[in-house]
Structure 1
């Protein structure tokens, strides 16, 4: 088990989308926009990941489970979920307009796609959903049957 710092996560249709970036980069704002579209919070600013066979499972962190920090609002409590990690969006204001290749990063020994992602515009949640659909790992068959 590992706790990833500076990572916010949401579950979309059973898959966990992790959003990483430095403080103030827009992780929670993107997560909130995705939650508004039906995603469920996994964790804000920290995610617990555990390897289960060939799948990496993201779950709420033990200390702050259920809370998301909303700038200029404070802490808000929301329902949480867990799920298999499908994609990491790395917030980067200089992200290429068109990704030429998908890189991966080993987390707990499992290769996870990582996509540079410019956050902050009005359709960031919709773009993040398309990124997950286009670049994310599929939902494991063991989860699909559950």
Structure 2
């Protein structure tokens, strides 16, 4: 008999927009925390910044923030700051942060990624333009329309 699946430790930042979790993926310095901060300013809730435990629960991707970084976000040029957070969320989509030179697709084809054995929609986005948080919110609203 096997016990519960051990969670995967993933390098990502997550926020909740309503009840939908958004996973922000990219290397260090890609803008994960910056975009999360702007989404939080628009009403999202921090789940975890930088590292998360991810596991499949009933076919869905759940992430949990490790206790040692719960409620903390790194704000460049300011430091590590405490923010209200929720400890876990079910992820609805992932955003791969890309540079200006990589660019965004004008009309992207649907893509997916697999994390902890769960397939989720994947979008590519340049994180620094003023419109980036609005684009994330539009992707979440489109996801809700499909369900």
- The interval holding the TM-score normalised by the smaller chain is 0.7 to 0.9
Contact 2:98 2:104 (8 Å CA) reproduced: no
Q: Does 1:4 find its partner at 2:10?
A: yes
Residue 41 of structure 1 aligns to a residue whose secondary structure is strand
Q: Tell me how far apart the structure 2 counterparts of residues 137 and 108 of structure 1 sit (CA, whole Å).
A: 25
Q: TM-score, normalised by structure 1?
A: 0.86
Larger radius of gyration: 2
TM-score normalised by the chain length of structure 2: 0.85
Cα distance between partner residues in 2 of 1:137 and 1:47: 27
Q: Which runs of 5+ in 1 are unaligned?
A: 140-146
The 1:103/1:137 distance shift into structure 2, 3 A limit, reads farther
Say if 1:42 and 1:85 are closer, same or farther in 2 by CA, change over 3 A: same
Q: Distance in 1 between matches of 2:39 and 2:145?
A: 18
Deviation at 1:71, TM superposition (A): 0.2
Alignment match, 1:104: 112
| 1:2–1:50 contact (8 Å) kept in structure 2 | yes
Alignment of structure 1 residues 81-100 onto 2, 5 Å: 81=86, 82-93=88-99, 94-100=102-108
The answer (yes or no) to whether the contact 1:87–1:137 under 8 Å persists in 2 is: no
Aligned to 2:81: 76
Q: Distance in 1 between matches of 2:49 and 2:37?
A: 10
Aligned pairs for 1:19-98 within 5 A = 19-81=24-86, 82-93=88-99, 94-98=102-106
Closer, same or farther in 2 for the Cα pair 1:30/1:120, shift >3 Å? same
Q: CA RMSD of the aligned region, Å?
A: 1.8
Q: Give, in whole Å, the separation in 1 of the partners of 2:34 and 2:96.
A: 14
The alpha-carbon deviation at position 137 of structure 1 amounts to 9.4
